Structure 1
Amino acid sequence: MNILNDDYGQASAELILIISTMTIIVVITAHYTTSILNDITKETEKVIENGREYILSKL
C-alpha cells in the first residue's frame, strides 16, 4: 500500500478555511455596523424633527 503525501490539497483546504472564516467575520461586522448606523440615523432624524418642531412652535 502506497500512501501519497498531499501537501497541496491540505494547503488549499487550509486556505479555503481561512478565507471562509475571514468572510464570515466581515459579514458579521458589516451587519453590526449597519445596525448601529441605522440606529444613529433614526435618532438623528428624531433630534432634527424635534428641533424643527420646536423652532416652528416658537415662530
Structure 2
Amino acid sequence: MIRYSSSSLISVLPWLWDWSAFYGWPLVRWITAENNYRARSVYDKLATKTHWQTYQLAID
C-alpha cells in the first residue's frame, strides 16, 4: 500500500485543479477508508463530504 502525507496531497492540488479546469470537469471525487482519519482531516478542510457510500460486490 502506498501512503501519502498531507503535504503530498496539498502539493498535488494545484495540478489537480488545473487538470480539471483544462478538461472541463465540474468536480473531482475520490474515496478513502472510513478509518483513514489523517487523510480525512485534510479532505474535510479542502472539500465537501458527500452522503454517498461505496459498496463492492465480489464476483467469484
Return the TM-score normalized by structure 1. 0.30
Answer 1 or 2: higher relative contact order, Cα 8 Å, separation at least 6: 2
Higher-Rg structure is 1
